[in-house]
Structure 1
Amino acid sequence: MSIEPNIIGGKPISHSVACELRRFTCGSNVASFGVDWKKTGFHFYSMQSPYQFGLHIHRDCTRGLLMCVQAYLIKKIIFKYSSREEILRRDVLHPSEHLREEALVHAISEMIWQAGQGVKACVCLLQDLLSFEIPPDYRKDGFTEKLTLFEFSTFDELRGFIKIHKDQDSGWVCGSGSHDYEINALLNPSILEDSGETELRLLNASEECSQTLLNLLLTGKAVQYIFNGTQLYDDEGERLLVGSMLKTPKRPIWVTITNRVNYGLLFSTNPDLVSDWRVEHRFFLHYYTGLVSQKKDVTLTIDTRFGRRISRKGKREADKIPAMEHLILSKWSGAEVDWNGTPPFM
């Protein structure tokens, strides 16, 4: 059995941390990542596509993670500029190849740093040989036992490290597996030690992102719920509503899930949408799924001024409202949603 010496600046993962990592991710220290997590990487669409800002999103277990990264990527591409006028002048949805690569590095770094509560971060790199002697009761997965850990105390150090290893290894972006990022996010000590939850699991029984993992990726907090603060179910056990802090983020970007499996991204290029109620009278939202089936840009017009047109067909017509519109109406009640010629989809 060969144990590889420390990569300069890093230390091999220990047996105990490797077991805890697998338990926290997959629910058991003998469980491991599925094929989807090991084959999927971060791939941009070509510069000739309508989505120069966009990552390929696959219909597999990794789609939730990729869409969360896409949200932070959009945040960096659009809102690095402070005013709406400058955003429009820069044509931000058509970034250069250099700009979008820089935005990806920043997005991943920001999400990892956020998971460390803005104090410290831990990043892993996969090495060829084992990091510890394998005991008889440990089931190898070809990944967890080969990690080397690197700790950072400043954001700039973290971002520099991510950039260097991205540039040196193109496979990091194209094909090394998005589970690398998931592991990096939850390796931060505040996640493993101070989550405050005893039965957290980041992947569900179908190996897809749990609500806990989605919250970790979007907010840096590994919690199971989506409401504000602490709430209790009432006697009827009614479903708790999404909290206002998720519905009204600092930037007009929303990760959406319809029918439990269809991920998307709604976003506006107008930063005032979440800070000036007058802008909410009539505005535009871009809708992005990242799927190859979405051939062109989808822009929705949301009008809250006159209320939604009431159909004489009543409930039968209401049942035909697309799931995405129902989601939009949960934020802007009574709004009229115009798909601008695009057949409504998820």
Structure 2
Amino acid sequence: MGDHEAERTMPQTELEEITSRISDLNKWREIFSFHGLEISNTTHQRGQGSDGNGAPAAGKHHPPSTVPKPFLLSPDTGGQPISLEMATGLRKLLFGNLFHLFSCEWEKAYFRFHEPYSDLAYALEAEKWGPRAILMAVQAHIIKYLLFVRNTEYTHLERLCRINRREQGEALAAALADTLWAAGEGGRAVICLVTAAIHVMPSRGYKADNFTERIQLFEFSEKAAAQKFIFDHINCFKDEGSHGVILFLYSLLFSRTLERVQEDLDCTAAPLLKFGFGNITCTQVCPRLRTPRLPIWLCSVSGRYSVLFGTDSQLLSDWKMERVFHLYFYSGQQEQRKTARLTIDTHSHHWEKDQSEDPSSPGKRRPSVEMAIRTKWAGATVNWNGTDPFF
């Protein structure tokens, strides 16, 4: 072939290549659009709009549902990829339709501890609304593990405060596994993690959130194995950007099975989550008995969830222990910097002395926490030991 003939055919070859690339670009544009992302017309280059390492410059907008790379597991990790049927079932169970998505408050929620070796080293931070109920329910199991399961040389409240970051992870893994195992009725636990691969592709009527479609399910028939797996992947639940609370909620639902959860909800004919005041709040928190086996109570006080607990495992099994004793209260609120220590006296009723006082008068009112305590120990006095009463 001569040089002149080659020059005549090259433009046609280049045109075909360009057309092919445009076609591929359109395909990727559809995929990115489906997941709430965009393909920009400009390309970030080293030294231009980046930090010098190819990363986008600070201040650039990123979709809130994008999962950070450290939490994307390899597809060959094992487990079962989520199906469109599963994702659809989750959406209908949680919201009652396929269009609602988790709010940013839910998406950014994860199991975040206070600093190790501090007064609240055992405690999870929680916002006032949204996923607070789930965080406080897990908090109760964390306290149970640290006080009554884990072997340690420390006693009483020190068992909760003298823990390091690894021990925080161990307590969280034990609490999550304990809850999932109970949901599976002592026979199985299902753990949901996010992988790099997208398992659920676009479907009419289903709105993607860019992490549910990446879920991989891992099923265990032994509680110890489930707990070890969670601990090995604990950052997927306790690090920022992990969607840790949502992953645990999904794990809880699949451990119970979606069908059985729906049966549990049929009496209310309502979705598991509901919208209110711009937030999504959780319903169907199981009521706790006033006399559990261990002195740990998940409380709903003034519409906010909190944990009340004692450090003596014999408190509820020996009536002589219920004369004068201590309970501890954790609200989960950021403004609480120290565990509140309450002294309960079940035989001294100073607060009832003035019978002539109007029960509705300000002087007669007591914090909601105290009134909650009196649903178990009627007439008991509560001493906050120097802490300003709250709730």
The TM-score by the shorter chain falls in which range?
A: 0.7 to 0.9
Corresponding residue for 2:289? 246
Letter in 1 for 2:318: D
Aligned with residue 358 of structure 2, among 314, 317, 330: 314
**Ranges in structure 2 where 5+ consecutive residues have no aligned partner:** 1-30, 33-72
Aligned with residue 259 of structure 1, among 287, 302, 316: 302
- On the 8 A contact 2:79/2:217 being kept in 1, the answer is yes
- On the 8 A contact 2:345/2:381 being kept in 1, the answer is yes
Corresponding residue for 1:23? 92
Distance 1:191 1:153, change over 3 A: same
TM-score relative to the length of structure 1: 0.82
Aligned residues: 309
Distance 1:289 1:91, change over 3 A: same
Corresponding residue for 2:182? 114
Structure 1 distance, partners of 2:333, 2:236, is 21
Corresponding residue for 1:159? 227
Corresponding residue for 2:63? none
Aligned with residue 299 of structure 1, among 320, 337, 341: 341
Aligned with residue 101 of structure 1, among 140, 163, 169: 169
**Ranges in structure 1 where 5+ consecutive residues have no aligned partner:** 216-225, 227-244
Structure 2 distance, partners of 1:204, 1:277, is 42
Structure 2 distance, partners of 1:89, 1:259, is 28
Corresponding residue for 2:378? 333
Distance 1:91 1:342, change over 3 A: closer
Structure 2 distance, partners of 1:89, 1:324, is 22
Distance 1:328 1:318, change over 3 A: farther
The alpha-carbon deviation at position 319 of structure 1 amounts to 5.0
Distance 1:66 1:5, change over 3 A: closer
- Cα displacement string for residues 205-235 of structure 1 (whole angstroms, at most 9, x for unaligned residues): 23544331x22xxxxxxxxxx3xxxxxxxxx
RMSD, aligned CA? 2.4
- On the 8 A contact 2:237/2:248 being kept in 1, the answer is no
Give SS of 1:105's match. Answer: helix
Say whether residues 1:191 and 2:257 are aligned partners.
yes
- On the 8 A contact 1:248/1:274 being kept in 2, the answer is yes
- Cα displacement string for residues 159-179 of structure 1 (whole angstroms, at most 9, x for unaligned residues): 12111112xxx3531221211
Letter in 1 for 2:384: W
Decide which moves more: 313-322 or 39-48.
313-322
Distance 1:101 1:132, change over 3 A: closer
Letter in 1 for 2:259: E
Distance 1:210 1:41, change over 3 A: closer
Letter in 2 for 1:8: T
The alpha-carbon deviation at position 48 of structure 1 amounts to 4.8
Distance 1:171 1:185, change over 3 A: closer
Structure 2 distance, partners of 1:89, 1:285, is 11
Letter in 1 for 2:308: L
The alpha-carbon deviation at position 282 of structure 1 amounts to 1.0
User: After TM superposition, where is structure 1 displaced by more than 6 Å over at least 4 residues in a row?
Assistant: none
Corresponding residue for 1:74? 143
Structure 1 distance, partners of 2:144, 2:78, is 31
Give SS of 1:330's match. Answer: coil
- On the 8 A contact 2:357/2:364 being kept in 1, the answer is no
The alpha-carbon deviation at position 203 of structure 1 amounts to 1.4
Letter in 2 for 1:333: A
